[in-house]
Amino acid sequence: MRKIMQSAVVITMVLFPIIAIAGELRKGDIVFISGAHILKVANENPVLQNEYSFNFGEKCFTDNGAKAKIIGISKDKILIEYGAPRAIKGHTRCLSGVLSLIPAKKLQSMTNEYNRNKLKDDNEKGLVRELLKQQ
């Protein structure tokens, strides 16, 4: 059982590198966002998808597990480009392509939380598989 758990940790760290442990966030890094967070849209032009759009200054919600690419870093602020994990249904969810300025500490915290939750979920999946083998 312990070997399975250790394997899950190693596999998770290989497939989903924990950026926080690796060091500072850098331009070009892809990070995963945990939970629903509010982003303030920083795009100069509207971001459009189907009948939904977001304009500069409007707010939208992220999805758990969404990817964000770091576009630029300025001292304590990071510009990200949000990538929605699935098709959007609803006018308050962030669309792919939304840019947002986020405090560096907040982005680091969101990324750390995602990685902790992902590792926990992977370990629980491994445990479930192991327990199912006992049937």
Residue 43, token pair as written in the block? 């795009």
* Cα–Cα distance for residue pair 85/68, rounded to 1 Å: 10
With a cut of 50, say whether residue 5 has pLDDT above it. no
Q: Give mean pLDDT, residues 10-31.
A: 58
Query: Residue range 62-78: average pLDDT?
Result: 91
Q: What pLDDT score does 57 carry?
A: 94
The share of the chain scoring above pLDDT 70, in percent, equals 79
Confidence at residue 91, expressed as pLDDT on a 0 to 100 scale:
63
Residue 80 has pLDDT above 90, yes or no: yes
Write down the mean pLDDT value for the chain. Answer: 80
Q: What is the pLDDT of residue 87?
A: 62
For residue 48, the model assigns a pLDDT of: 84
Residue type for 130, please? E
When pLDDT is averaged across residues 88-103 and rounded to a whole number, the result is 83
Q: Per-residue pLDDT averaged across 109-113, rounded?
A: 87
pTM over 0.75: no
Beta carbons within 10 angstroms of residue 61's beta carbon: 13
Mean pLDDT within 61-82: 92
Q: Which residue has the higher pLDDT, 116 or 90?
A: 116
Q: How far apart are CA 29 and CA 55, in angstroms?
A: 25
| Cα pseudo-dihedral 57, 58, 61, 65, rounded to 10 | -50
